[in-house]
């Protein structure tokens, strides 16, 4: 049996042994002693990922020269004491807070402003229960970490605070060494691939190259993640509105029609009275027939062409019999119980001597809700308007006011 036939018949044993030989050769070369006969060479701190990747195509002597150049440049102008300082370490800083604040919404805005001023960025914000709670993860440069902690301490009542620092220098250097070693083995395999003649041998070499490439990519991604964490510290803030602002239970108005008012569905249901009159606002779709039909599911009387603003008209009995001032005050008390922030109020002179008092409210999602009431003997007329945001509401405000002034009895 000639040598070629022997090798082919025992390739399942010979090829793995050959790969093991290459790996052993490289590892021995990495740990070789300097020619001067001194002590074994120590590994230098790993270069950044970009430097490592740039050295992938170099020979052994070129890579050694590059590593020496990187070390010399990094230490230029520094004393030996400075070289061993924490500055040369890779440390991940982070902090976790649980804070009670007067206003969660305002505190979120303060954290955004602080983060931008310190040169960082917001990673995520989650709010719940109409801004009673919020969780913010923000990232700031490590150089500004102490400043961020100092400002965060002043946001409110700190219930819990944890500050941590993790030194990942050894972990990062180990990964850098693994990448460098894997690239050297892959380079040898590429050389071997050029000389391989047997298709089976080529397939085996390509499979090993693919595996090494995947391993290099995964480790490099992890290295980049550690670098990002080390460059930008992480602050995790859990915000909660202080108890006195949130613990009060909402007590519904004793007047059913006031308690039923809501911007998100039809509040007051009734048929159309023959002597009730109003004008359709310009630029709005009119759903009058469906709105007043018995058992109708239509929620709005008029809707703007873009659907951003909606109008409703309601009619209730003036019971107990009271004047305009009484019902306006009852409505104000209910809004305060709901924690609605009244942005502005206005009086409108409507048809046949009817006067409407309106309140404009900004909701937690920054949408706008208007309620206007007018008293006419034994009837109370209620106009409701909803805008999905302040811009949409303001652009249709004139049409809303014109509609309110047009409501009355003939």
* Residues 24-83: tens digit of each pLDDT: 544 444 444 333 333 333 333 333 333 333 333 333 333 333 333 333 333 344 433 343
Closest-CA residue to 107 (of 234, 248, 242): 242
- For residue 278, the model assigns a pLDDT of 94
Structure tokens at 219: 């480790």
* Contact yes or no for 97/160 (Cβ under 8 A): yes
CATH entry 3.10.450 includes domain 88-168+234-243: no
Alpha carbon distance 30, 44 (integer Å): 12
d(CA 16, CA 201): 11
Rounded distance between C-alpha atoms, residue 399 and residue 402, angstroms? 5
Q: Which residues contact 305 (CB under 8 A, 6 or more apart)?
A: 283, 284, 285
* Beta carbons of 382 and 267 less than 8 angstroms apart: yes
The model's pLDDT over 145-193, given as tens digits with 9 standing for 90+, comes to 999 999 999 998 899 999 999 898 999 999 999 999 999 999 999 999 8
Regions of the chain with pLDDT less than 50 = 1-8, 10-14, 17, 25-87, 245-247
CB 382 within 8 A of CB 364: no
**Cα–Cα distance for residue pair 399/304, rounded to 1 Å:** 10
pLDDT of residue 50: 36
Angle at Cα 111 formed by Cα 100 and Cα 361, nearest 5°?
75
Could you tell me the residue ranges of all domains in the chain? 3-30+43-69+170-224, 88-168+234-243, 256-409
- Residue 269: the pLDDT is 87
Residues across the chain: 410
The CA distance from 236 to 98, in Å, is: 9
Cis check: omega of the bond before 262, within 30 degrees of 0: no
Question: What are the E-state strand segments in 91-145?
Answer: 91-101, 121-128, 133-141
HSE of 200, CA atoms in CB hemisphere, 13 A: 8
Q: In CATH, which of 3.40.50, 2.60.40, 3.40.1000, 3.10.20 is domain 256-409?
A: 3.40.1000
Q: Where are the beta strands (DSSP E) in 53-110?
A: 91-101
């Amino acid at each position: 049996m000639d040598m070629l036939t022997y090798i082919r018949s025992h390739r399942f044993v010979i090829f793995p042994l050959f790969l093991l030989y290459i790996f052993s050769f490289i590892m021995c070369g990495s740990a070789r002693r300097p020619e001067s006969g001194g002590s074994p060479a120590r590994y230098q701190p790993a270069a950044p990922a970009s430097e490592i990747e740039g050295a992938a195509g170099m020979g052994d002597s070129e890579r050694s020269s590059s590593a020496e150049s990187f070390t010399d440049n990094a230490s230029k102008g520094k004393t030996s004491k400075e070289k061993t300082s924490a500055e040369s370490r890779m440390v991940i800083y982070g902090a976790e807070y649980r804070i009670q604040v007067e206003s969660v919404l305002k505190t979120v805005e303060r954290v955004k402003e602080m983060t931008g001023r310190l040169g960082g960025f917001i990673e995520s914000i989650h709010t719940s229960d109409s801004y009673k709670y919020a969780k913010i993860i923000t990232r700031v440069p490590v150089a500004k970490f102490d400043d961020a902690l100092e400002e965060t301490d002043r946001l409110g009542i700190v219930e819990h605070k944890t500050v941590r620092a993790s030194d990942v220098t050894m972990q990062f250097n180990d990964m850098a060494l693994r990448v460098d070693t894997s690239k050297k083995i892959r380079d040898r395999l590429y050389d071997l691939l050029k000389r391989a003649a047997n298709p089976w041998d080529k397939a085996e070499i390509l499979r090993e190259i693919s595996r090494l490439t995947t391993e290099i990519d995964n480790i490099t991604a992890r290295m980049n993640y550690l670098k990002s964490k080390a460059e930008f510290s992480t602050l995790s803030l859990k915000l909660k509105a202080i108890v006195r602002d949130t613990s009060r239970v909402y007590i519904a108005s004793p007047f059913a029609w006031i308690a039923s008012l809501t911007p998100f569905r039809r509040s007051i249901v009734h048929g159309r009275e023959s002597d009730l009159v109003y004008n359709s606002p310009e630029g709005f779709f009119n759903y009058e027939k469906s709105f007043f039909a018995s058992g109708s599911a239509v929620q709005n009387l008029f809707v703007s062409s873009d659907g951003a603003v909606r109008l409703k008209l309601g009619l209730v009995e003036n019971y107990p019999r009271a004047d305009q001032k009484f019902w306006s005050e009852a409505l104000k008390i209910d809004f305060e119980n709901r924690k609605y922030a009244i942005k502005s109020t206005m009086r409108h002179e409507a048809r046949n001597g009817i006067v409407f008092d309106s309140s404009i409210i900004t909701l937690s999602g920054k949408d706008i809700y208007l309620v206007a009431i007018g008293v006419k003997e034994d009837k109370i007329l209620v106009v409701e308007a909803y805008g999905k945001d302040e811009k949409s509401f303001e652009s249709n405000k004139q049409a809303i006011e014109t509609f309110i002034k047009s409501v009355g009895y003939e």
